[in-house]
Amino acid sequence: MAQYNPPLRDMQFLMHEVLDVVAELKALPAHAEVDADTLNAVLEEGGKFAAQVLAPLNQSGDEEGCTLDRSTHAVTAPKGFKAAYAQYVEGGWPSLSCDPAYGGQGLPQVVNQCMYEMMNSANQAWTMYPGLSHGAYECLHTHGSDAQKALYLAKLTSGQWTGTMCLTEAHCGTDLGMLRSRAEPQADGSYKITGNKIFISAGEHDLAENIIHLVLARLPDAPVGSKGISLFVVPKFNVNADGSVGTRNGVYCGGLEHKMGIHGNATAQIVLDGAVGTLVGQPNKGLAAMFVMMNAARLGVGMQGLGLTEVAYQNAAAYAKDRIQMRSLSGVKAADKPADPIIVHPDVRKMLLTARAYAEGGRALAMWTTLQLDKEIATDDEDVKRDCADVVALITPIVKAFLTDNAWLATSHCMQVFGGHGYIKEWGMEQYVRDARINMIYEGTNTIQSLDLLGRKVLGDNGAKLKKFGKLVTEFIEEEGVNEAMQEFVNPLADIGDKVTKLTTELGMKGFQNPDEVGAAAVDYLRVCGHLVFAYFWARMAKVALAKQAGGDPFYKAKLVTARFYFAKLLPETASLIRTARAGAKPMMDMDEALF
């Protein structure tokens, strides 16, 4: 059975030595009282919950899955999930970064992000239940009416109720402009909603007393396409005026999807049969309102990829140090044993260091991004708010796509380290691979993220957002350019920065003439940008490690070795990516459709 140890030392390194999170937060009125001891204590306790409560349920939850009673439409989560959720609620974990006005603790989002990384490492399927609730909370907190906030936010904050996002229908996935669910206005100001949704994560379960569905549907006079979508809040049980649970609403689970992975999460087919709901925000403006939840979900899926990368690495590294097979090519390393541990073999180390570099780079990116989100939410400075919003918008598709692509590679590598045992269920590694695969698909496929990055976030504003991040990279290069010890990190960072600038300009010109050029290059382009971002953070981490390695702490030595591995073995991938991005649309579009 796989094991998990929360990476608290690395989290503290990033928080206090690289990003100086406390100083950044203290500049914000809402977080002026935050201190390092508090942040460390919260993460330590959160790590215990993840490792001691959630991790032991991961494999059993995968094997058991969820059960649907077709006569009642009730879904039962795997054994132990409900008790773990009750413990989660009792510990106050759902309210970490929620608004104190609704019972939240008001801690920064960056703490919540670290908590979710640990929970995803321990048990991604379980973590999806509260994870979606947080997105529903954010959406209603931003766009809900005063009455909706009063009715729902305190219960979502406490975890007493959970939430979902009901977007996808069988005939349309990402193309939500095609959805058919309809909402009929009622005399009392409510709506009756009818339709069918699929792929609804945590759509029905027995963990909480009520489930709050955020549903996209069309009003009778709605315009066609995405401009005619409205958003509604539809509770599983109607809510009485005093906030208590009332009668059963007309929304229920019609079936559970039989999936490759995340078996412990109830991915439901949701039937809306005249379900009573209330409008969130303005009519026909639902997609914009739902984007609050969708963007939160995209960052959350990035955390799923990061969590799986970390836990897969931990188990593969432990196995490689214990498993003996063959002798080292450079001579016997364990003379007292009949063979050497497989960690002596270069390619095993390459697989392990790939996973480690992607985990530690991803953690730095995720923590920095969430810190920008904290600043955007809490600052009184409109310029800072705008700049933070821009870089978060730019980076969100990279967090979602790059981290989940990397997780697929890393979990596959880590399963490979186990050899034949990696393919055997009892070791737990094949589950990480299966669970990791969905993260590249849902909440907007990684191709959709790539189109969003290149088409909307970069070319859509003539590179203004990209230039804001580029300015951070340039300033760092200028500061460290005279530091001889940093040249091995600064020079390749400067090189990839220049190449991204040139590639962006070239693709912009080609895309202006033929939009298919954007579609042809987008996936490669996002991965190049992902490496630019990782190179920046790996250079920053290396700077700190170089300054502190003389103290003899092996942590800093390991950080430098991993940084050097990243720049030597992973960053060079960008050369082939840039070449294939420049190859354009012609090699794909020349094929006649009839020949496929």
Q: How does DSSP assign 521-584, residue by residue?
A: HHHHHHHHHHHHHHHHHHHHHHHHHHHHGGG--HHHHHHHHHHHHIIIIITTHHHHHHHHHHT-
CB-CB contact of 142 with 331 (8 Å): no
**pLDDT, average across residues 512-521:** 97
Q: Does the structure show a pLDDT above 90 at 293? A: no
Residues 6+ apart with CB under 8 A from 395: 365, 369, 372, 469, 533
Measured at the CA of 232, the angle between CA 231 and CA 234, to 5 degrees, comes to 150
Question: Which among 169, 430, 443, 480 is annotated as catalytic?
Answer: 443
**Model pLDDT for residues 48-62, shown as the tens digit of each residue:** 999 999 999 999 999
Q: Does the structure show a pLDDT above 90 at 177? A: no
CB-CB contact of 403 with 357 (8 Å): no
**pLDDT, average across residues 69-84:** 98
Q: What is the DSSP string of 60-85?
A: HHHHH--EEETTTTEEEPPTTHHHHH
Q: Does the structure show a pLDDT above 90 at 308? A: yes
Residues 6+ apart with CB under 8 A from 127: 54, 116, 119, 120, 304, 307
Q: Tell me which of 91-95, 295-299, 536-540 is least confident.
A: 295-299
**pLDDT, average across residues 116-128:** 98
Distance CA 361, CA 383 (A): 28
Look at residue 296 in the predicted model and tell me its pLDDT.
87
Look at residue 531 in the predicted model and tell me its pLDDT.
98
**Model pLDDT for residues 180-226, shown as the tens digit of each residue:** 999 999 999 999 999 999 999 999 999 999 999 999 999 999 999 98
Look at residue 290 in the predicted model and tell me its pLDDT.
83
Look at residue 174 in the predicted model and tell me its pLDDT.
81
Look at residue 175 in the predicted model and tell me its pLDDT.
83
- Can you list the pairs that 406-409 forms with residues at least 24 positions away whose Cβ atoms lie under 8 Å? 406/305, 406/309, 406/358, 406/362, 406/530, 407/304, 407/305, 407/306, 407/308, 407/309, 407/358, 407/436, 407/439, 408/305, 408/433, 408/436, 408/437, 408/439, 408/440, 409/354, 409/358
Q: Does the structure show a pLDDT above 90 at 291? A: no
Q: Does the structure show a pLDDT above 90 at 33? A: yes
> pLDDT above 70 covers what percent of the chain?
100
Give the position of tokens 């001891």: 37
- Across the chain, mean pLDDT equals 97
Name the 3-class secondary structure at 144: coil
Q: Does the structure show a pLDDT above 90 at 289? A: no
Domains of the chain: 8-67+76-143 (1.10.540.10), 163-285 (2.40.110.20), 450-596 (no CATH)
**pLDDT, average across residues 80-102:** 97
Distance CA 407, CA 61 (A): 21
Q: Does the structure show a pLDDT above 90 at 295? A: no
> pLDDT above 90 covers what percent of the chain?
96
Look at residue 283 in the predicted model and tell me its pLDDT.
96
Q: Does the structure show a pLDDT above 90 at 281? A: yes
One-letter amino acid at 163 equals: G
Whether 480 is a known active-site residue: answer no
DSSP secondary-structure letter at 223?
P
Distance CA 541, CA 560 (A): 8
